[in-house]
Amino acid sequence: MPRFFPSVYALQATLGLVILSAAQLASAADPELLLVIRNHRFEPAELKVPAGKRVKLTVHNQDPTPEEFESKKLGREKVVPGGAKVVIFVGPLKPGKYEFYGEYNEATAKGAVIAE
């Protein structure tokens, strides 16, 4: 009588690798944008992103002091230490304008994601 257990385990392992690879490919396919914090301002102040797609946003704080990326419309809040980078995923978004700001310097650190 043939044994199927090794084949079933091999199939499960292969299926797991396929799922992991697909997830990595999907992640790699996300559009990537860079947002810089310099002199307590976001640069660029407006980021255009494709509507209906998840976007990988890398925020690089070039100031020596921390800043916070905060957006109620995007549902994101992340402290970016001075001189550090953080990654924030947003979307998929419906077409529209989604404001964000730096909580530590609200007067100058303002911007928006525009989904088109």
Q: Do 15 and 49 reside in the same domain of the chain?
A: no
Give the pLDDT of residue 13.
Answer: 52
Q: Do 11 and 65 reside in the same domain of the chain?
A: no
Q: Do 40 and 65 reside in the same domain of the chain?
A: yes
The rounded mean pLDDT for the chain is 86
Give the pLDDT of residue 29.
Answer: 74
Residues 69-94: pLDDT tens digits? 999 999 999 999 999 999 999 999 99
Q: Please state the pTM of the whole predicted model.
A: 0.74
Tokens 């001075």 -> residue: 82
Give the pLDDT of residue 89.
Answer: 97
What does the pLDDT average to over 18-42?
A: 76
Helix, strand, coil percent values for the chain (each to nearest 5): 25, 45, 35
Domain limits for position 79: 31-115
How many structural domains compose the chain?
2
